[in-house]
Each structure stands twice: as structure tokens, then as C-alpha cells.
Amino acid sequence: MEVLSPEEVPAIYQTLIDKALEFREKAYAPYSKFLVGAAVLTKSGLMFGGANQENASYPLCMCGERVALYHSAMAAPGDEVVAVAICVKSPIGDIMQPVMPCGACRQVIKEYEDRYKGDIKIIIRTDDGRVWMVKSVKDLLPLGFDDSFLI
């Protein structure tokens, strides 16, 4: 994992982070008040976003990362996802450590890495402006579930 200061972040990733911050404000989180915005970058340079969507029946909630990934798959089928930026806002104060994707989102990111046969960079911005970059979801989910267990 690499940690960058705001000045060190490549322009394309800063733009992706800015999109995630924008989408974060569209989160629907009336119960937890924990807002998550995510933006994905495709190989062709397109960006798609999502935000968490809560439901009173908690298991039906959708994380921002998955909303963004599914958005990209529907809007630009076959356009490989190469990065996802995630920005959160907590009701308890500033977040100074990276909030990594939950287990379900890690598994979905893994599916997209398998589907497109390439790594997806995971980019997390903390409230102090630092940017945490993970090369691949394999670094966060080394033993993920895949189709080899099904076929």
C-alpha cells in the first residue's frame, strides 16, 4: 500500500477522488449517517459514480463501491474498470485512517478484476488529504471466492 500527500496524487486520480467526493454528497444514509461516495475509472477514461443507499431493513443496503461498479457495467459494458476511488464522511468526526471496502465490496471488486483480467487500483482519501493506494483487491482479499469453486 502506498500513501501519498495531496500534491503527489496523479491528476487523473485526483479527478476520480473529486468525483467520489461529489457522489458522497448524494448518499442516502438516514440511519447510520455514514456517507460513502465512490467513483470508478474505466480503461477508456470514463468515470462513473455511486453512493451508499441505506434501507431500514439493513441487509438490503448497498455500498457506494458496488453501486459505482454496477453503474459502470450498465453504462459502459465491456469497458474495463482500472481504478475505484472511495471517500467517506463519518458522523463521529474526521477520518484519518483509510476506510477500506467491506468484505462484500472486496468480493465484487475481485469479480471485476477476474472479469477484466486486470488489477483495479483502490484509492482511499482520508480527511487530512492523504491518499492511500492499493494496487489490487488481492492485497485486501488474498483468498477470494471465484468460479473455480463452481465449475
pLDDT digits (tens, 9 = 90+) for 49-88: 999 999 999 999 999 999 999 999 999 999 999 999 999 9
Residue with cell 453504462: 75
The x, y and z cell numbers of residue 8, run together, are 503527489
- Mean pLDDT computed over 104-113: 98
The number of residues making up the chain comes to: 151
131-134 and 47-51 as β-strands: parallel, antiparallel, unpaired? unpaired
Q: With bands split at pLDDT 50, 70 and 90, how would you rate the model's confidence at 10? A: very high
- Nearest alpha carbon to residue 92 among 17, 35, 21: 35
What is the structure's pLDDT at 151?
76
User: Percent of the chain at pLDDT above 70?
Assistant: 100
Q: Which of 7, 65, 80, 113 is catalytic?
A: 65
Task: Write down the pLDDT at residue 118.
Answer: 97
Residue owning grid cell 481504478: 83
The CA distance from 37 to 63, in Å, is 9
Superfamily of domain 2-149: Cytidine Deaminase, domain 2 (3.40.140.10)
Domain residue spans in the chain?
2-149
Q: Does residue 113 have an active-site annotation?
A: no
